[in-house]
């Protein structure tokens, strides 16, 4: 059987594109590319591969019986209308201005790099976070608060907890100085705080609201910041009650926990985020371990200012839906979320938390690939730039979801020639069948060929 025939037989059914596609990608793009049914001009920035383009429109967060959607709905319950408006259908294709500039990303921020972000062209990207819509949502002013749930795209590692497309959810609650009684933000926030449901969580929160390392913004008074922080924390503690209350019930039903009256424990940890200050992470004590759930804080005033709403102040949070869903449903591998296998999909139903029952324990197959990077005449004998994420994209383009894990195991620079060598170990494992040696060898040879063709490496 030829390599090409083998690769066609291995075409995965987990939602990724054909593993042959990488061999069809030219070193340059044609003058136009179609993404999400719309045509865009390409340029030297374009780096969106077919296997990522194929994920656009899957909308796992909107599929009612999918674990990502069930998790989203659980969190949304704590942010009801009319105070909060849910935005779940915003396009994943955004401008560089929306994704970076509106949030104050400096021009040299690594997130802007083509090694981290998928560019359609110089001015258009696949959103890397839901915050790409924050300024527009502030400016629209359709509600006092909002949530945004969406698929986001980042060039990333290959392992059981990372995928180049994942789902985020964020929320915000704002108050307008021009609309609250007497312009008294602190009093208005405190009044709204009293309306929030109380809970019986055990909360650890001993630090000051703000200090030099987690500063108060100049645009806010101490009283305003303290009130906003209190409202934020009570609101998100309610999310813990909702999500982990359901998780506890599921664990008891699965025999993984005993029924007891012990309250859930949470703690607030100071943190740094570029879009908020002061900022915190919320951790939950779950099955004997402290788990980081989400990040949050008082919105950087520059964001509503730049959105044309300088009279608004408030808080915002962000949470990764896969992280919560893996915990809630006991899903061990992030690739499973993209599976179209009925053995996975039929295990879940809207409004229910059920523990995932494994249907495959197929053996892994490890293969190493080592190569010398080519020299660059334009950098005085230096090496051509090669990022680890370039390796990840090459493997994904060939193997799709048949690649479970890719790790850099060795790199060194030859003391005489100055040439750099890299070695990666790839773990191939299907979620649906046992891969034969012949199949794995064909996959691996296709990876080696793609590396040589795309990056002119010298295989070892």
Q: Where are the domains of the chain?
A: 57-92+127-207+221-346, 365-459
pLDDT digits (tens, 9 = 90+) for 106-135: 999 999 999 999 999 999 999 999 999 999
| pLDDT (0 to 100) of residue 21 | 32
Q: Which residue has the higher pLDDT, 352 or 27?
A: 352
Tell me if 395 sits within 8 A of 51, measured CB to CB: no
| pLDDT (0 to 100) of residue 29 | 64
d(CA 132, CA 102): 8
Q: Which residue has the higher pLDDT, 15 or 363?
A: 363
Q: What is the band of 351 on the pLDDT scale with cuts at 50, 70, 90?
A: confident
**Cα separation values, 315 from 149, 226, 391, Å:** 17, 11, 38
Tell me the average pLDDT across 98-105: 91
d(CA 375, CA 255): 58
Nearest by Cα to 332 from 320, 344, 319, 346: 344
d(CA 359, CA 33): 38
Q: What is the band of 382 on the pLDDT scale with cuts at 50, 70, 90?
A: low
| pLDDT (0 to 100) of residue 359 | 81
Element (H, E) at 406: strand 403-413
Q: Which CATH architecture has domain 57-92+127-207+221-346?
A: 2-Layer Sandwich (3.30)
Distance from the first to the final alpha carbon of the chain: 26
Nearest by Cα to 154 from 132, 127, 130, 124: 127
| pLDDT (0 to 100) of residue 376 | 65
User: DSSP code of 239?
Assistant: H
Mean pLDDT value across the chain: 89
Structure tokens at 458: 């010298």
Q: What is the band of 384 on the pLDDT scale with cuts at 50, 70, 90?
A: low
Nearest by Cα to 402 from 359, 357, 447, 358: 447
| pLDDT (0 to 100) of residue 25 | 37
Strands 265-273 and 202-204: parallel
Q: Is the pLDDT of residue 162 over 60?
A: yes
d(CA 225, CA 139): 22
| pLDDT (0 to 100) of residue 117 | 97
Burial 314-324 (b: 16+ CB within 10 A, else e): bbbbbbbbbbb
- Radius of gyration of the chain measured on its C-alpha atoms: 24
Chain centroid to Cα 225, Å, comes to 29
| pLDDT (0 to 100) of residue 381 | 47
Whole-structure pTM value? 0.87
Structure tokens at 442: 């064909």
Angle at 303 between CA 242 and CA 138, to 5 degrees: 60
Q: Is the pLDDT of residue 444 over 80?
A: yes
**Cα separation values, 265 from 200, 311, 328, Å:** 9, 36, 17
3-state class of 42 per DSSP?
Answer: coil
Nearest by Cα to 164 from 369, 406, 362, 365: 406
Structure tokens at 398: 């060939």
Nearest by Cα to 333 from 435, 411, 418, 432: 432
d(CA 333, CA 161): 6
| pLDDT (0 to 100) of residue 116 | 96
Q: What is the band of 95 on the pLDDT scale with cuts at 50, 70, 90?
A: very high
Fold exhibited by the domain 365-459: Alpha-Beta Plaits (3.30.70)
3-state class of 275 per DSSP?
Answer: coil
| pLDDT (0 to 100) of residue 130 | 96
Q: What is the band of 274 on the pLDDT scale with cuts at 50, 70, 90?
A: confident
The pLDDT > 90 percentage for the chain reads 77
| pLDDT (0 to 100) of residue 268 | 97
**Cα separation values, 37 from 34, 54, 95, 122, Å:** 6, 11, 17, 19
């Amino acid at each position: 059987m030829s390599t090409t025939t083998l690769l066609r037989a291995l075409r995965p059914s987990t939602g990724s594109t054909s593993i042959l596609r990488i061999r069809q990608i030219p070193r340059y793009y044609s003058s136009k590319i179609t993404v999400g049914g719309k045509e865009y001009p390409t340029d030297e920035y374009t780096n969106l591969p077919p296997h990522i383009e194929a994920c656009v429109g899957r909308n796992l967060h909107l599929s009612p019986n999918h674990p990502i959607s069930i998790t989203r709905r659980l969190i949304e319950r704590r942010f009801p209308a009319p105070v909060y408006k849910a935005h779940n259908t915003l396009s994943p294709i955004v401008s560089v201005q929306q994704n970076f500039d509106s949030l104050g990303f400096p021009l040299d921020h690594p997130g802007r790099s083509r090694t981290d972000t998928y560019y359609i062209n110089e001015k258009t990207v696949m959103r890397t976070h839901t915050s790409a819509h924050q300024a527009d949502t502030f400016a629209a002013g359709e509600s006092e608060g909002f949530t945004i749930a969406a698929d986001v795209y980042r060039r990333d590692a290959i392992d059981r907890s990372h995928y180049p497309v994942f789902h985020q959810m964020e929320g915000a609650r704002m108050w307008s100085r021009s609309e609250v009684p007497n312009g008294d933000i602190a009093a208005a926030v405190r009044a709204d705080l009293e309306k929030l449901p109380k809970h019986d969580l055990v909360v650890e929160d001993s630090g000051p609201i703000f200090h030099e390392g987690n500063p108060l913004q100049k645009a806010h008074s101490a009283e305003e910041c303290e009130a906003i922080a209190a409202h934020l924390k009570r609101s998100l503690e309610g999310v813990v009650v909702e999500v982990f209350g359901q998780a506890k019930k599921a664990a008891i039903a699965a025999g993984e926990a005993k029924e007891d009256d012990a309250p859930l424990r949470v703690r607030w940890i100071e943190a740094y985020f570029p879009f908020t200050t002061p900022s915190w992470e919320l951790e939950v004590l779950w099955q004997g371990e402290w788990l980081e759930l989400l990040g949050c804080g008082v919105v950087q005033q520059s964001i509503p200012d730049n959105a044309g709403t300088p009279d608004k102040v408030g808080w915002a949070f962000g949470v990764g839906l896969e992280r919560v869903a893996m915990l809630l449903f006991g899903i061990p591998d992030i690739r499973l979320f993209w599976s179209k296998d009925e053995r996975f999909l039929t295990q879940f139903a809207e409004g229910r938390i059920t523990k995932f029952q494994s249907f495959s324990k197929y053996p892994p197959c490890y293969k190493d690939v080592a190569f010398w990077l080519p020299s660059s005449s334009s950098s005085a004998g230096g090496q051509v730039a090669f990022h680890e994420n370039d390796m990840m994209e090459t493997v994904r383009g060939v193997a799709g979801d048949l690649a479970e894990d890719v790790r850099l195991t060795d790199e060194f620079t030859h003391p005489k020639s100055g040439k750099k060598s890299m070695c990666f170990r790839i773990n191939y494992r299907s979620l649906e069948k046992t891969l034969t040696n012949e199949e794995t060898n064909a996959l691996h040879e296709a990876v080696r060929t793609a590396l040589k063709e795309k990056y002119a490496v010298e295989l070892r």
